[in-house]
Every structure is written in structure tokens, then in C-alpha cells.
Amino acid sequence: MKAPEFTLPNAEGKSISLSDYRGKRVVLYFYPKDSTPGCTTEACDFRDAHADFAAKNTVILGVSADSAKRHQNFIAKYELPFELLSDTDHTVCEAYDVWQLKKNYGKEYHGIVRSTFLIDEDGELIHEWRDVKVKDHVASALAYIDQLN
């Protein structure tokens, strides 16, 4: 199945499209919020494995509803070597069905359900991880890609 195409601004406001990465695999991960504990751990895990993904012709793109300015701060603080994209109106989150009703301490609200998608060199969605638990997730994604080679 074709992955939903999108164009979103990165931390510098430059438009980034999924189609920009044809010829490479894309790990597209959606996360709730910059600088929160789970999201920081996940981003740093992707950072630490960045060279391993790159060696497998795979780029990493992170998506949240945060502003470009928040992304700039997050990238700078944790030295993230990959693009973070701003989906402030949730359009792409909705296209990937990760913008959902959540419950926390008895409150209901809409937000991003932590999810990761693997897209092949031709833009086909080949694997998805939904409702991700951060611990060991990046290693699991890398192991999945290893078995494709």
C-alpha cells in the first residue's frame, strides 16, 4: 500500500516531502511532544542509531504537532541528526491515523499515539508499529530493517 504523501515544514521552516526520499527507506515516527521524557528517550535512541540506519539506506523523520521553534530547541539540546517536522494542524497525523482520542488521569483529549512507519524506496508502506513503547523500539525497528537486506 502506498504511504500517504505529505509535505511539512522542518525546524527551519523548509518544506520537506515524503517524495524527497524516493530511493531510500524512510522511518517515519510520530511522537507526542518535544522534550518530554519518553519522546526525548525515543529521539536520543534514534540519534544514537542514526549511522546504523543510514548504512542501510534509511532516513529518519520525526513528526509531532510542535512548532518549528520547539523543534529547533529540541534538536539543538540533544544534537539530533535527523529532520523533525511540524504537523501543527494534524493533517498528516490524521492521514496515518495516529491522531486519536487519548485518556490520561481521567481526562480525555486528542493527541498523537506514538507510532512508527517503515516506507520502502518506492514509497510503499511496508511495516508499522502502533502504540509504541519506547524501550527497545529503535533496536526492534533496526532489526526489522536488517532482515530486509
Alpha carbon 50 to chain centroid, angstroms: 13
Residue 42 contacts residue 64 (beta carbons within 8 Å): no
Supply the angle between the helices 37-48 and 137-148 in degrees, to the nearest 10: 40
Which residues have a catalytic role annotated? 39
Please give the Cα distance from 96 to 5 (Å, whole number): 10
User: Cell 526489522 maps to which residue?
Assistant: 144
Please give the Cα distance from 28 to 117 (Å, whole number): 5
Amino acid at 94: E
